[in-house]
Amino acid sequence: MSDSPKITEEIIKALTELLYGMRYGTITIIVQDGKIIQMDKTEKHRL
């Protein structure tokens, strides 16, 4: 596949930062035309 998506160091760094310190929650990756265009983080705080 010559058109396979490229996972760059920038994407890996952004995802790592989103995951750092997260205990409960979700990370949603939005893909358009085979490319990651957005990452959303929803974090839950449990008492």
Predicted pLDDT at 2:
55
- Return the structure tokens found at 3: 């058109």
Read off the pLDDT of residues 1-47 as tens digits, 9 standing for 90 and up: 456 668 899 999 999 999 998 989 999 999 999 899 999 999 988 88
Could you tell me the residue ranges of all domains in the chain?
Answer: 9-43
Cβ–Cβ < 8 Å for 37, 31: yes
From first CA to last CA, the distance across the chain in angstroms is: 47
Q: What is the chain's alpha carbon radius of gyration, rounded to the nearest angstrom?
A: 13
pLDDT score for 45 = 86
- pTM metric for this prediction: 0.73
Distance CA 2, CA 23 (A): 37
Q: Which residues pair with 29 in a beta bridge?
A: 39
Position 6 scores a pLDDT of 81
